[in-house]
Amino acid sequence: MDGRHRTRHLAVGLGAAALTMTLTATTAPHSASTAAERYGWGEPLPAWSDEFGYGSEAGPAVPDRAKWRLAGGGPGECWPGHGDNGRRCDANTRVVGGVLRMTGEADGDTGWLASRYGQKYGRWEARVRSRATAPDNGRPYHPLLILWPDSNEHPEDGEYDYLENGAPGERCAEAFLHYPHPQDVPVQQEHARTCGVDLSRWHNVAVEWTPGHLRGFLDGEEWFRFSGGANADRDCIQCAPSMHQTIQLDNFHGDGLQSAVYEVDWARVYDLPDEEGVR
């Protein structure tokens, strides 16, 4: 496992609940609220956050290898894509003019990036936008922000897809939060959806994970909250072990895709203070 892993007391919830808010804003100016600003999360962890203040159009940069693991394991490499659809290739993820740019090609080659830092409980926030770069052919890419288990054991150790959309630039944001559960039971997850947003424009997307809940934010506004939900088939939704951030533009179709671009202005990680972890 990569990075630093932190352990705190685990509080198991007794029920599952979701709060979904419909937002009306369709644009997000650069000054749009962040969850970190609104809720006083403090300063991001500098060793594991990335402002992507490097690279240029003339000289695209490989993401900071002290902070990120690259697709294929290194520059110029590839490995199989999501569900063996196409390939995840390092060359499809570059920092260009202060923005991380992930490109999905018609032939199925796409980008992927994973943080080297994992923690149990915390807060993550990223400023993102996505758009198709070819006419709609019914085979779009899926842009995602994910907290993935450091153990790489899924679904046993859960998965928090706090942004998962079926196509770039959609007008509704979606999230799929997976309970930790054995492989021999059906998928155990919660779904959230909020509309009235244009994901081809910049938006700040965040998740807060505590011993008591998972909360999602869009431009500083809470749009989902889940807690508890343990039963004979699964652990409580917030009861996963240590997680790390991944940024993905996933291929669900093989080849002949509608090409796309997924961009990240910055990605920030926040610690969860001990006094907040017991709430």
Asked if 240 and 180 count as a contact pair (C-beta separation under 8 A), the reply is yes
The torsion angles phi and psi of 191, rounded to 5 degrees, stand at -125, 140
- Confidence at residue 159, expressed as pLDDT on a 0 to 100 scale: 98
- Confidence at residue 111, expressed as pLDDT on a 0 to 100 scale: 98
- Confidence at residue 32, expressed as pLDDT on a 0 to 100 scale: 52
Quickly list DSSP for 51-64.
------SSS-B---
- Confidence at residue 274, expressed as pLDDT on a 0 to 100 scale: 76
Give average pLDDT by consecutive 10-residue segment, the chain, 279 residues.
31 30 33 86 97 96 98 97 97 96 98 98 98 98 98 98 97 98 97 97 98 98 98 98 98 97 98 69
Could you give the CA distance from residue 10 to residue 8 in angstroms, rounded to a whole number?
6
- Confidence at residue 155, expressed as pLDDT on a 0 to 100 scale: 97
Query: For residue 237, which of 186, 194, 187, 181 has the smallest C-alpha distance?
Result: 181
Helix, strand or coil, per DSSP, at residue 72: helix
- Confidence at residue 21, expressed as pLDDT on a 0 to 100 scale: 30
Query: For residue 217, which of 157, 272, 150, 145 has the smallest C-alpha distance?
Result: 145
Helices (H), the chain: 35-39, 274-277
Q: What's the pTM?
A: 0.88
Asked if 98 and 54 count as a contact pair (C-beta separation under 8 A), the reply is yes
Domains and CATH numbers, the chain: 45-276 (2.60.120.200)
Q: Angle at the Cα of 237 (from 185 to 184), degrees rounded to 5?
A: 10
